[in-house]
Amino acid sequence: MPMKDLFTPIKWLPEGKVCFLEQTRLPREEVWVETSDCARIADAIERLAIRGAPLIGIAAAYGLALAALSTQATDYESFRSDLLKSAVRLRSTRPTAVNLGWALDRVMRAVDGVRDVSDAREVTIRTAQAIHQDDIGACRRIGEYGAPLLPAGARVMTHCNAGALATGGYGTALGVIRSAWKAGRLKHVLANETRPLLQGARLTAWELREEGIPFTLIPDSAAGLMMQRGKVDAVVTGADRIAANGDTANKVGTYHLAVLSQANRIPFYIAAPTSTVDLSIASGAGIPIEERSPSEVREVHGVPVAPDGVDAANPAFDVTPGEYIAAIVTEAGVGRAPYGESLRSLCQRGVAAHA
């Protein structure tokens, strides 16, 4: 399927089902899964078949819409209690991306006060669709604000996948890269492979190739060397949760890049919607970091690469202190240090204001 601007990895079907791209099968196969079962969405988020902070939020909201359609409840209190049970399950799937809880809270808030069950069902669906559409719009604006930050002819490094596959469409870090490419400002992308689950090699490489953007895939461990060799003008990554002071959780390995960027005098940018900002958390120390199965480190696609049974650790995210971040690009504008002030004002103007 050619990658168009409005490519989206998830769709709400008019018959009341969700259709999503099974990302664990990329890039070898493009498998689309249709479901009317909220539990299947929760499972897909846990398995990373659906992944990336904004997409996790959108999928969770659609999961609640499926739950709203499938509950047998006839009175509002039972309806709301069934929805809350599904929300608890969805919320438990992944701890780091704040977009998940943000989206669930937005749906539950919209339903509150709608006493008629069939109206409440409609509101659930409409709110999930609005979260999806808002995210596409936010990504486009992130692209518009982010592209001018790059120098003409920019060579940009990115980590993990913060593209259309991680959002409602278009992408955050890849949104900036797409917009810069369209504006003729981008020369080349260095895509880090992103061990252990290879989101860079499998997903970012797939997206960039579909879009015809020139890029080179590199091992994560080559990032510093590429900077020393003068091959990187800027680093742009996405985020899973940004604390009130600008400390940012993103895919593990991002912190190294930020420190390396500072050592090599290269600007390091975060691109994320305001729905990824968590003003309730003062600093990165309060961000929960997901620990995934050690088998993902000991194996590659199920093939063992380490001696049987060795101890392995698999933290899925790390936290980059705000002091390493040159700017945070959101749909409401570009935030700079001191982030305590800039993030608060961006959140008042962005999609976060809907929550």
Residues from 79 through 98 that contact ligand MRU (CB under 6 A)? 97
Annotate 197-222 with DSSP letters as a single string: TTHIIIIIHHHHHHHT--EEEE-GGG
The contact mask relative to ligand MRU for 317-336 (x = CB under 6 A, - = no) is --------------------
CB of 307 to ligand MRU, least distance (A): 26
Instruction: Please report whether residue 160 would count as binding ligand MRU according to CB under 6 A.
Output: yes
> Is the four-CA dihedral 142, 148, 153, 154 of positive or negative sign?
negative
CA-derived radius of gyration, the chain: 20
Q: State which of residues 316, 325, 332, 351 lies at the interface with ligand MRU (CB under 6 A).
A: 316
Instruction: Please report whether residue 51 would count as binding ligand MRU according to CB under 6 A.
Output: yes
SS3 87: helix
Q: Which stretch binds ligand MRU (CB under 6 A): 178-186, 231-239, 260-268, 341-349?
A: 231-239
Other beta carbons less than 10 A from residue 76's beta carbon: 16
Instruction: Please report whether residue 247 would count as binding ligand MRU according to CB under 6 A.
Output: no
Q: Which is nearer to ligand MRU, 162 or 234 (CB)?
A: 162
CA–CA separation, 56 and 318 (whole Å): 18
SS3 237: strand
Owner of token pair 């940012």: 248
Instruction: Please report whether residue 250 would count as binding ligand MRU according to CB under 6 A.
Output: yes
| Size of site (CB under 6 A) for ligand MRU | 19
Q: State which of residues 8, 127, 172, 204 lies at the interface with ligand MRU (CB under 6 A).
A: 172
Q: Which stretch binds ligand MRU (CB under 6 A): 52-60, 129-137, 176-184, 227-235?
A: 52-60
- Taking CB atoms within 8 Å and a gap of at least 24, the contacts of 99-103 are 99/53, 99/54, 99/56, 99/57, 99/240, 99/273, 99/275, 99/276, 100/45, 100/53, 100/56, 100/57, 100/60, 102/57, 102/275, 102/352, 102/355, 103/57, 103/58, 103/60, 103/61, 103/128, 103/131, 103/275
Residues that are catalytic: 240
The contact mask relative to ligand MRU for 261-300 (x = CB under 6 A, - = no) is ----------------------------------------
Q: State which of residues 124, 127, 167, 261 lies at the interface with ligand MRU (CB under 6 A).
A: 167
Instruction: Please report whether residue 132 would count as binding ligand MRU according to CB under 6 A.
Output: no
CA–CA separation, 7 and 28 (whole Å): 18
Instruction: Please report whether residue 50 would count as binding ligand MRU according to CB under 6 A.
Output: no
Instruction: Please report whether residue 199 would count as binding ligand MRU according to CB under 6 A.
Output: yes
CA–CA separation, 61 and 50 (whole Å): 13
CB of 168 to ligand MRU, least distance (A): 10
CB of 222 to ligand MRU, least distance (A): 19
DSSP bridge partners of 243: 278
Of 139, 142, 167, 159, nearest in space to 57 by CA: 167
Q: Which is nearer to ligand MRU, 233 or 240 (CB)?
A: 240
CA–CA separation, 82 and 67 (whole Å): 8
Positions that interact with ligand MRU (CB under 6 A): 48, 51-54, 97, 160, 162, 166-167, 172, 199, 237-240, 250-251, 316
